[in-house]
Amino acid sequence: MKRRKKERMESKLYVGNLPYSTTEDDLRTLFGQAGKVVSADVIKDRMSGTSKGFAFVQMETPAEAEKAISMFNGYKMGNRELKVNMARPKEDTGRGGGFGGPRGGSGGGYNRGGGNRDRDGGSRRF
């Protein structure tokens, strides 16, 4: 099982500098010239749904992935030069998703208990 996952990573490609109008079908057609495309995923912004200008394309074999890199790295698509290379595993940045996690700051706002005040409400400056 572990070997299978490693083999999949070796045939997964990062495709950057894509025109924002590029679709998954466009990628399947283009990369299909290098071999069998297992999947093509254009990465989109969660809020707007528009392309972020990059994608991941999974080729059937590492040999087909290498062929796609040699064919399409530097390829002009819609006045943009594609960047194609092997995808790297997602790095754990230690940051949680969304808006969670520890927060700093004084709290602020009306009657929220924030700021640098003593319990009696006075200022610590004097």
User: Residues near 52 by Cβ (< 8 Å), separated by ≥ 6?
Assistant: 43, 44, 45
**Average pLDDT of the segment spanning 62-78:** 97
Domain ranges of the chain: 2-20+29-75
pTM of the predicted model as reported, rounded to 2 decimal places: 0.68
| pLDDT tens per residue, range 91-109 | 877 665 555 555 555 555 5
CATH match of 2-20+29-75 with 3.30.70.330: yes
